[in-house]
Amino acid sequence: MGTLIISDDTETAAALARALGVFGHEQKRKPLAATGRLSLPADLDAKTVVIIFVRDELMLEHLIWGKLRKLHEDSDKDHCNPAIVLGFQKVEDFGKMQPVFSGIKGEPAALSHRYLPIPFQLSVLNKLIKKLEPVTDLAYINTSYANDKKYLLHRIHRIYNKNTVLSRKETIKRLKEVMAYFTQKGETENAERLETEIQGIPAKKWKDKTFELREMCEELLA
C-alpha cells in the first residue's frame, strides 16, 4: 500500500516513512513539507493513503480543505485519497473540530478518514492504512464536513504576517471570499461593513491598512 506523508517536522516525517517501509508501505515520494504553497502531485494514485502530521491548526485546516478535499480557486483538483491525521489531541476533541475525522461507525467519512492520537503503536497505523478506502462521494464530504470559517481564517491570516504580504489584488480577492461567506450566511451587516472599509482605503494607503483588515476579518469571523 502506498503512503504519502505531509508534515511540518521533517525529521519525524522521515522516521515515520522508514518505519512504514518495514510494513511494506511503499513511499513513491519523499515526505512533503507542510506549507501554504504545497501542491499535491496531480498523478497521485487514489489508493495512496495521505498521512498528515501538522501542529498548526490553521495550516492543518488549509491542507485538508484547501489542498486535499475542498475544491477552491487555489486548488488544482479535489483528491479522493484516504487520509489519516496524527496529533496530540484526544479522538473526541479532534472529532469536534474536524467531524470528518471523528471515526463514527456508519458515517461515510469513516471509511476514508481517521485521526490517530500520539503516541500510537505502528501496528495500529499499519492496520488503518490497510483498512481505509478512497472517497467515493467527494461532493458529499465537502458539503457535509468542510469548515468554511476555519478555512477563511487561514486565508485571511496570510494577507499579512511576518513572512507574507500579499498583493492588493490577491488581498481583495480573499476579502471578497469573506464577504461572500457572510452574505451566504445571511450576515449582510458584516459583509457591508467589510465592503465599506475596503472602499474607504486609498490605493496609496493600502499596504498600511492590510493588517487592520486582517484583524477586522478575524474579529468578524470569531
Cα distance between residue 135 and residue 122, in whole Å: 24
When pLDDT is averaged across residues 129-142 and rounded to a whole number, the result is 91
The cell for 86 is 496524527
Q: Which of 123, 145, 167 is the last residue in one of the domains?
A: 145
Same domain, 98 and 161: no
Same domain, 107 and 156: no
Using pLDDT thresholds of 50, 70 and 90, give the confidence band for residue 166. confident
CB 82 within 8 A of CB 136: no
Percent of the chain whose pLDDT exceeds 90: 53
Same domain, 14 and 108: yes
The cell for 3 is 503512503
Using pLDDT thresholds of 50, 70 and 90, give the confidence band for residue 39. confident
Q: Which of 145, 165, 195 is the last residue in one of the domains?
A: 145
Contacts of 160 (CB under 8 A, 6+ apart): 166, 210, 211, 213, 214
When pLDDT is averaged across residues 187-210 and rounded to a whole number, the result is 90
Q: Which of 145, 161, 176 is the last residue in one of the domains?
A: 145
Q: What is the pLDDT of residue 197?
A: 92
pTM for the full model?
0.79
pLDDT at 106 over 60: yes
Helix axes 188-199, 168-184, angle to 10 degrees: 160
> 53 pairs with which residues across the strands?
7
